[in-house]
Amino acid sequence: MDEPDRRENAVRRRAGRLVVPTERAPADRSLLERSAIEELSHHADPWRVLRILSEFVEGFDALNEVGPAITVFGSARATHDDPYYKSGIKLGRALADRGFAVITGGGPGIMEAVNRGCHEAGGLSVGCNIELPTEQSLNKYVDLGVEFRYFFVRKNMFVKYARGFVIFPGGFGTLDELFESLTLAQTGKIEHFPIVLFGSPYWRGLLDWLEDHVLASGAIAPEDLQLMTITDDPDEAAEMATRPLPVKVTEPREQTGERRADAK
């Protein structure tokens, strides 16, 4: 690659099928904030719907053949010497050994660790990256990568193509994904969807707060706390997340298209 090409790549980034200047505002910000011109024209949002639709189509097309998979969330800031990074590698391997693909956000930290473990064990390592103001590129252990502009489209893919979640320690993004998954399970939007918290020292305070304050105030029911399990062992996390569907179910799983367990 010659010097002009390097300069060109330095100021551009991938965004779905497009390459856009790095200084361009993320699509989510454009969607949620209205400029003065948009207020006058009222044309930008209807056309943006087509872009959102195309992103759903591209995501469905790319991930439709992934097969059984587990989505794993966790901090992008974990370093290679972090014990949770090392556990992420072990989890990725354990899931691959069970015949499951892994789906992560495709970035660094815990995401990279899980993708790495799965990739090195011969499993399918999937990354769903997101356009951010500070570029976050796909890690090198991703076998199948999809880049998204919109958080809500990306989050739909995390659920639609997975049979369960494992959630490592992380920041606001990880907490957002945890509580969205709990809300979907609590409201019956996803059924038999294991939600495994990895790292009891990290999560215990949150669980105690939910029990002592949220449950005590009547804001949730006792059974809502049973939506989560917790472990510090990668093999146990893999076993929890991949437990088979109950033998008796009345409806196919909408998220994965699986048939009823008793169907012939």
Q: Please count the other Cβ atoms lying within 10 Å of the Cβ belonging to residue 81.
A: 7
Instruction: Assess contact for 114 and 89: CB atoms under 8 A.
Output: yes
Q: What's the token pair of residue 214?
A: 């949220």
Domain 67-127+164-241 has CATH 3.40.50.450: yes
Query: According to the model, what pLDDT value does residue 2 have?
Result: 52
The pTM for the full model equals 0.76
Query: According to the model, what pLDDT value does residue 50 have?
Result: 85
Query: According to the model, what pLDDT value does residue 10 have?
Result: 42
* CA contacts within 13 A on the Cβ side of 235: 1
Instruction: Assess contact for 155 and 177: CB atoms under 8 A.
Output: yes
The Cα 105–Cα 184 span in angstroms is: 19
Radius of gyration (Cα) for the chain, nearest Å? 20
For the chain, domain boundaries: 67-127+164-241
Query: According to the model, what pLDDT value does residue 137 have?
Result: 81
- Residue in the structure block whose two tokens are 């992008």: 76
Query: According to the model, what pLDDT value does residue 31 have?
Result: 57
Query: According to the model, what pLDDT value does residue 28 have?
Result: 60
What is the bridge-based pairing of β-strands 165-167 and 195-198? parallel
List the chain pLDDT tens, one digit each, 264 residues.
Answer: 555 444 444 444 444 444 444 555 565 665 566 555 555 455 566 778 888 888 888 888 889 889 999 999 999 999 999 999 999 999 999 999 999 999 999 999 999 999 999 999 999 999 998 877 765 688 999 999 998 888 889 998 999 999 999 999 999 999 999 999 999 999 999 888 899 999 999 999 999 999 999 999 999 999 999 999 999 999 999 999 999 866 444 444 444 444 434 443
Query: According to the model, what pLDDT value does residue 263 have?
Result: 40
